[in-house]
Structure 1
């Protein structure tokens, strides 16, 4: 059971990294669009993509913490 949870934890950590990179890319695109337009307005589609990726990152981090808690409970 512990080995399965460790595999799940590794997958969740990979999803956290993927979501983080996806959010950073969306942030950089938003910044690039702002600089090219020379306005203070932002591209709402890119902001929504950034928010969605960062929310996914938080969700995966919470699940990873939950898996770590379960692993710790099983090993006591």
Structure 2
């Protein structure tokens, strides 16, 4: 059981990093587009992707914290 939880924890950590990187890349692209055009649009596709990725990051972080809590509860 503990091996499964550790694998789940590692998977959640990988997804956190993946979501963070995708969100930052989307942020940089939207900032570059805004700087090149000189116009600020309401919500571009990149900004919507950035928001989605950052929300996913929060979900995966919560999952990782929950898994750590379960591992610690099982250890004591």
Quick check: TM above 0.5?
yes
Give the corresponding residue for 1:49.
49
Instruction: Give the whole-Å Cα distance in 2 for the aligned partners of 1:34 and 1:43.
Output: 11
Q: TM-score, normalised by structure 1?
A: 0.94
Equivalent residue for 1:28?
Answer: 28
Q: How many residues align?
A: 76
- Contact 1:30/1:43 (CA < 8 Å) preserved in 2? no
Q: For 1:9 and 1:34, how far apart are their aligned partners in 2?
A: 37
Unpaired runs of at least 5, structure 1:
none
User: 3-state DSSP class of the match of 1:40?
Assistant: coil
Using structure 2 for the length normalisation, give the TM-score. 0.94
**Residue 64 (1) aligns with residue 64 (2):** yes
Give structure 2 stretches of 5+ with no counterpart: none
Two-structure CA RMSD over aligned residues (Å): 1.1
Q: Which residue of 1 aligns with 2:7?
A: 7
State the Cα deviation string for residues 4-59 of structure 1 (Å, max 9, x = none): 10010000000000000000000000000001101233652111000000000000
Distance in 2 (CA, whole Å) between partners of 1:7 and 1:46 is 32
